[in-house]
């Protein structure tokens, strides 16, 4: 039944959803994402992360973009997003330009996040995939659900598997999507306990990270999630095999558990990783979309119409 439920909701989505109503929509998104990533490579990782954090909280519905109001306790200030989620101004720019290109608001903010994530990965040398489209935007958000449902960098493998399972995603999806850490940076506060306390870590790697992440202070200092943080490649998995995962949750994928074999495969086979990453991104984009008459097409991604 679960599988049927997923396909039933995603059957409304189609890669060709905007072909007739606004053929300029996707090229417009691509142009702005490419410019943003060219200006700052890290923005690609930020836009990918935003889509992920949106989808894991009550589906891919653009709820992460809503500002707090008297009636909305938004997700921007939830633990996993507060002072770390970035790229909102790029989404605003995309929305403005897309609505201009289409002549009216026909492209949802949720779809913008899904397309921007794909275009970001491609701009940084990663695989392309056909983004399913036709999601509508939520009229509410949930800080509580964001705190409960977004995977934490401190999780062990069983907790990570459980978090993904709750979204209808399997262990293969967990490993493939964790490969999104091929790009981007993390704040010292998120890996401090790992580099000072974990024993499944290469000592030289730990020392190198400690240089910019002291025991006390420096919480917002950045370190790359893998050595080539501006290129979408398999260095992330190669690092895990060498016990050089930055986050506790990264190294948990290669620590004598059920996911070791897949990490090993991806570290040696870029083609396998690219194909699986694309498949898992499409699957994640299909988590509980609002379609038909549910939700709305927001005029401003930050607030309900």
Q: Residues marked as binding for substrate?
A: 151
Q: Which residues are annotated as a binding site for Ca(2+)?
A: 54, 57, 59, 61, 63, 75, 226, 233
51 catalytic, yes or no? no
Residue in 65, 15, 21, 58 with CA at minimum distance from that of residue 282? 15
Q: Which residues are annotated as a binding site?
A: 54, 57, 59, 61, 63, 75, 151, 181, 226, 233
Polymer length of the chain:
305
Supply 16's token pair.
Answer: 């060709």
Which one of 49, 51, 53, 136 is the catalytic residue?
A: 53
DSSP state string for the chain: -HHHHHHHHHTT-BTTTTTTT-TTHHHHHHHHHHHHHHH-THHHHHHHHHHHHHHTTTSSSSGGGPPP-SS---STTSTTTTTT---HHHHHHHHHHHHHHHSSS-S-HHHHHHHHHHHHHHHTT-------B--BB-S---HHHHHHHSPPTT--HHHHHHHHHTTT--HHHHHHHHGGGGS-EEEHHHHHHHHHH-SSS-HHHHHHHHTTS-SSS-TT-EEESSTTTTS-SSHHHHHHHTT--SSHHHHTTSSSSTTHHHHHHHHH-HHHHHHHHHHHHHHHHTSS-B-TTSSB--SBTTB--
Q: Which residues are annotated as a binding site for heme b?
A: 181
What residues are labeled active site? 53
């Amino acid at each position: 039944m679960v599988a049927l439920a997923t396909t039933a909701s995603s059957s409304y989505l189609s890669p060709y959803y905007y072909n007739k109503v606004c053929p300029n929509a996707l090229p417009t998104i691509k142009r702005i994402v490419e410019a943003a990533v060219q200006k700052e490579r890290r923005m690609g990782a930020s836009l990918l992360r935003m889509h992920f954090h949106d989808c894991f909280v009550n589906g891919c519905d653009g709820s992460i973009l809503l500002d707090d109001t008297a009636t909305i306790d938004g997700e921007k200030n939830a633990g996993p997003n507060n002072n770390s989620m970035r790229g909102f101004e790029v989404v605003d720019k995309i929305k403005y330009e897309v609505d201009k290109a289409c002549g009216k608001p026909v492209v949802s903010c949720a779809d913008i996040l899904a397309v921007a994530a794909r275009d970001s990965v491609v701009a940084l040398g990663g695989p392309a995939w056909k983004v399913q489209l036709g999601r509508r935007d939520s009229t509410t958000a949930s800080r509580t659900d964001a705190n409960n449902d977004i995977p934490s960098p401190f999780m062990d493998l069983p907790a990570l598997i459980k978090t993904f399972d709750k979204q209808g995603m399997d262990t293969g999806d967990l490993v493939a999507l964790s490969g999104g850490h091929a790009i981007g940076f993390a704040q010292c506060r998120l890996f401090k306990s790992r580099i000072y306390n974990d024993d499944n870590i290469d000592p030289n790697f730990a020392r190198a990270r400690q240089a910019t992440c002291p025991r006390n202070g420096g919480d917002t200092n950045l370190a790359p999630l893998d050595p080539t943080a501006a290129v979408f490649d398999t260095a992330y998995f190669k690092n895990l095999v060498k016990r050089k995962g930055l986050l506790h949750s990264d190294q948990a994928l290669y620590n004598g558990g059920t996911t070791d074999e897949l990490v090993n495969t991806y570290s040696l086979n870029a083609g396998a990783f690219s194909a699986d990453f694309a498949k898992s991104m499409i699957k994640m984009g299909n988590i509980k979309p609002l379609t038909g008459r549910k939700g709305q097409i927001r005029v401003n991604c930050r607030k309900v119409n």
